[in-house]
A and B are shown apart, each in its own frame.
Chain A
Amino acid sequence: MNNARYQSRLSHLITDYGMLIVLVLLCLLFSLLTLKDQTVSGERGAETVFESLNSGQSADGKILIVVGTTASDTEFGQTLFAKLGDAGREVSIEAGDPARLREQLSLIPFVDSVRTIVTTDVTLPVVKNLLGQSRATGAEVVTPPKRRWPTFLLAENLRNVANQITVIAIIAIGMTMVIITAGIDLSVGSLIALSAVSIAWVVGALGGAEISLMGVMAAVLAALVMAAATGAFSGLMITAFRIPPFIATLAMMQVAAGVAYIISQGKPIYRLPEGFVWLGRGTDPILNMPIAVILMFVLYFLAWVLMERTVLGRYIYAVGGNPEAARLAGIRVNTVLMFVYTLCGLLAGLGGIIMASQLKSGAPTYGLTYELYVIAAVVVGGTSLSGGEGKIIGTLIGAFIIGVIQNGMNLTNIETYTQKVVLGLVILAAVLFDRLKQKGLRRSIGFFRAIPRAKSEVTST
């Protein structure tokens, strides 16, 4: 009995949180695979280096700080420079990518008198080169301390993962709802392009880089309305004319892609103002999280409320589970369908705006084949393509699984072609798991449990 209860709990755990477990395991795997010595740079690294420089023998003489261009390098350099300056040391800083640094350093006249050179891993070869040229031969090279830590789990990398999946995950909200109604929306990839191109074009038309905030708002609104209207049009075709969702949205996919090319005349549009990248590249001041990622989490929360707590959410499940029964229960099935397709289009439009903001341009090639990634995220998240079942949080997990796999394979130097193969297999595995969950898993676990009991009953009769 205890054993049986344990097994049923296990099967519940696997079916309800299976995807979460997979995600955690993937994170563990990539953490182990990318474990290596990491430079402690940034503010903490600067602190440690400052301590060591300000004590001991090297407590005098000129100091040169050489850093690269990454955020943590910059932070490290700036902090150390300020601290040493405050401590009254004679200090100078050079920052830039290796090629430029090499040039710069060879031009600096005072290098010979430098006693200490502080450098990060990125710029170490350049410094070594400098020493090799027998300039600054007497200088002592200091690098920030190191610790063992997985590259995968570096805050910067995790931020990267989140950043990469934002657009997919946001659109996947709408796609989840569409798929729960037993539909599909193939047009989202093209809507990304259409929205990105529209916003760039409207911004250009309203004054380009010198556009006012109001102008940007108008452009955002225009792009969103355009995308939502396309979604609504698909919805209209599906509800009023009973065109299968696959066909209706396939057609809109072509139309939207075509319009995006027409608007942009096939070329990327670059004239976007500096402030426009706030959405895609900006971060909040407290957690340093990208604004778009925060937006994604907020949208997921709202979508969760919609699906779990509102009448409309319940209707979406009912329409997907049995449209005829739903209609006969007094639900306006067509209204529900119109809503999900419009929302899906709207979110695809938002995805396009975020992408335009991340890349500071709009091009008709954006979002190409994204519909497949979005559908993959929904499916991996456990939503059934036959409708009526699925969870919005599952989709978020699904998006993260795809993001983590891609990122992890990048970190472990697996080439793009192999990545595609792996990703395809993951999608297949997710669907198989879903089938198993519906048909087999509970039964098969129950099956093994039932055999002894069945046998004992056979012998007793």
Chain B
Amino acid sequence: MLLKIDSITKAFPGVQAIKSGSLELRAGEIHALVGENGAGKSTLIKILTGVHQPDAGSVQVDNRELQFTSPIDAHKAGIVAIYQEFSLVPSLTIAANLFLGREKTAAGLINSSLERARAVEALTKLGSPLDPNKRVGDLSVSEQQVVEIARALLANARILIMDEPTAALAPREVRQLFDILRDLVKSGIGIIFVSHRLDEVLEIADRVTVMRDGVTIETRGKADVTRRKLIELMVGRSLEEEFPRGKVSHGDVRLEVKHLTGGPVNDISFTVRAGEILGIAGLMGAGRTELARLIFGADSQQSGEIWLDGRRAEISSPRSAIRNGICLLTEDRKRQGLVLCLSAKDNFALSNLRRWARMGLMNHRLESSRFDAHVSSLAIKISSPYQRAESLSGGNQQKLLVARWLETDSRVIIFDEPTRGIDVGAKYEMYLLIRKLAAQGKAIVLISSELPEILGMSDRVLVMKQGEIAGEIIDVSSATQEQIMAVAV
């Protein structure tokens, strides 16, 4: 047994992050760790990497019990974690990054030629012949990931922990990464693979361990598990359906986009009716988010027209889009949606303040009553209106933003990756909400990288490719993921 974690517990002020954590990793195995946000995955990883110390329980590497007092100890034991946020220095070269902190020196000076040679060696081993003199900042995300893995190998890592490694990768790059990982484990390395993407987990992992509420519920072999079973284990109850049903009759055309061009988006036209959910699928970089930003006025358009309820709308900024009843729920809630240091109520009020205000003075009473109304109708869980947006869960942050846009009286709602980073349980609630909004007659544009989500929620699907619409799927109920991918690639 390469690694054995036995009955670990860990408490933080106010939360028992891990109640009972156990996991066994064999040499040459890819072991997936799944669970909802807050299930204790990241705490478990941080204990493994020596960032946190467990309150009880043991960690054994090669059947020897080890106690890590710092990340350096874990590193020495051959445990290396690669996080979503890479720990590379963009302004330095690949070679310099690979040997950062462990520079090859001769007489106190850096031996660059030796470093370069070793770098080439390590990169070739990973099947990725990158030039070690290139600046890391100039590399693509997947190339940077390879550099991270190479760095781990050069540090003699035997246990590699990968936290959401595919989150920022295109499907082709995911394939490449998986090939690299499969190759790696052949040499006896063990990989712990943490991911929210269950399809990928099922593809790459030899075994899967599910965590829920700080407890490692079960470890199953690849053969004994399905997507549905995994979700049930993660949520802790049996799921009726992943996506709520409910067709509504569609009204007149609400949103009409004519020949919209700008940035990577090239001459896109489509319509969405009142009550309709239009799914937009496509690979990363196909221009879906850019399309959404163009419609919302966040980026400036070169040409094209946007019509709302049969009238042309002049949209030059988010401000004018909002005034016209268009809203955008951005894919990155923390950077582009919320002002994290402000309260939940302030975030809700932001786009509505001016309308409520009298002579520039805020109307606190109206603000509070509108906020309370939305909190109860959308079932937003907050401890107080003054709770900082930062401390809300992903699902509640998303609902808070939905509340804001409902208050501005939006007629067109664009969701960009609405369930990214949201728990499986909360996802269902989000889907229900989207359905409800459609039933109220809103025109909904749903952008998502999760094909099951696109297929499960949309009334009609557009597939984008290289800034253009590559295909349309009208009969969604009989469409398959492969069908979409065939158009998208």
Contacts and interface: CB of A to CB of B under 8 A. Distances in A.
Interface of A: 309-312, 314-315, 317-318, 321-322, 324-332, 388-389, 443, 446-447, 449-450, 453-455, 457-458, 461
A318 B350 contact: yes
Please classify the interface of chain A as helix (H, G, I), strand (E, B), loop, or mixed, using the class held by over half of its residues.
helix
Interface string B371-400: 000000000000000000000000000000
A330 B322 contact: yes
B58 to A, nearest CB: 14
A449 B336 CA distance: 36
B387 to A, nearest CB: 14
A455 B9 CA distance: 11
Interface in B425-476: none
Contact of B346 (A312, A318, A455): A318
A293 to B, nearest CB: 27
B110 interface: no
Given A309-B362, A324-B336, A329-B404, A314 B13 contact: no
Interface in B304-357: 317-319, 321-323, 328, 330, 335-342, 346, 349-351, 353-354, 357
B298 A328 contact: yes
14 contacts: A309-B361, A310-B361, A310-B362, A311-B361, A315-B353, A318-B346, A321-B342, A322-B338, A329-B318, A330-B351, A332-B317, A446-B14, A450-B12, A458-B11
Contact of A314 (B9, B19, B55, B362): B362
B296 A328 contact: yes
A454 B13 CA distance: 8
B357 to A, nearest CB: 5
B318 A324 contact: no
Interface string B1-35: 00000000101111010011000000000000000
Please classify the interface of chain B as helix (H, G, I), strand (E, B), loop, or mixed, using the class held by over half of its residues.
mixed
Contacts of B318: 327-330
Contact of A311 (B12, B341, B362, B404): B362
A387 to B, nearest CB: 8
B360 interface: yes
Nearest to A319: B339
B350 A461 contact: no
B318 to A, nearest CB: 5
Given A314-B350, A328-B330, A461 B20 contact: yes
Contacts of B339: 317-318, 321-322, 325-326, 388
B198 interface: no
A328 B338 CA distance: 10
Interface of B: 9, 11-14, 16, 19-20, 55-56, 296, 298, 317-319, 321-323, 328, 330, 335-342, 346, 349-351, 353-354, 357, 360-362, 404, 408
A389 B342 CA distance: 8
A449 B13 CA distance: 8
A314 to B, nearest CB: 6
A318 B340 CA distance: 9
- Which one of A324, A328, A331, A443 has the greatest number of beta carbons of chain B within 10 Å? A328
Contacts of A325: 335-339
Contacts of B360: 310-312
B340 to A, nearest CB: 7
A265 to B, nearest CB: 44
A450 B335 contact: no
Contact of B351 (A329, A443, A446): A329
A317 B340 CA distance: 11
Contacts of A309: 361-362
Given A310-B361, A450-B12, A329 B350 contact: yes
A457 B16 contact: yes
A458 B56 contact: yes
A318 B354 CA distance: 14
Contacts of B361: 309-311
Contacts of A458: 9, 11, 55-56
B94 to A, nearest CB: 30
Contact of A332 (B319, B338, B404, B408): B319
A450 B16 contact: no
Contacts of B322: 329-330
Given A311-B354, A325-B336, A327-B318, A317 B342 contact: yes
Contacts of B357: 310-311
B7 to A, nearest CB: 8
A450 B12 CA distance: 8
Nearest to A323: B339
Given A317-B341, A457-B9, A461-B56, 11 more contacts: A309-B361, A314-B353, A315-B353, A325-B335, A330-B321, A332-B319, A450-B11, A453-B11, A455-B55, A457-B16, A458-B56
Contacts of B19: 461
Nearest to A306: B360
Contacts of A388: 339, 341-342
A6 to B, nearest CB: 16
- Which one of A312, A315, A332, A455 has the greatest number of beta carbons of chain B within 10 Å? A312
Nearest to A438: B341
- Which one of A330, A388, A443 has the greatest number of beta carbons of chain B within 10 Å? A330
B11 A457 contact: yes
Contacts of A312: 360
Contacts of A455: 55
A312 B339 CA distance: 15
A314 B321 CA distance: 21
Contacts of B353: 311, 314-315
A458 B17 CA distance: 12
B81 to A, nearest CB: 23
A345 B296 CA distance: 35
A290 to B, nearest CB: 31
A50 to B, nearest CB: 55
A457 B321 CA distance: 53
Contacts of B12: 450
Nearest to A453: B11
A450 B14 CA distance: 7
B463 to A, nearest CB: 26
A449 B340 CA distance: 27
A389 B362 contact: no
B62 to A, nearest CB: 27
B337 to A, nearest CB: 6
Nearest to B322: A330
Contacts of B350: 314, 318, 326, 329-331
Contacts of A389: 341
A317 B12 CA distance: 31
A111 to B, nearest CB: 69
A57 to B, nearest CB: 70
A447 B357 CA distance: 42
A12 B266 CA distance: 54
Contacts of B338: 322, 325
Contacts of A332: 317, 319
Contact of B340 (A310, A322, A330): A322
A350 to B, nearest CB: 22
Nearest to B55: A458
A320 to B, nearest CB: 8
A439 B55 CA distance: 23
B412 to A, nearest CB: 15
A325 B404 CA distance: 13
- Which one of B9, B14, B341, B349 has the greatest number of beta carbons of chain A within 10 Å? B341
Contacts of A454: 11, 13, 55
A318 B347 CA distance: 8
Contacts of A314: 346, 349-350, 353, 362
A310 B408 CA distance: 19
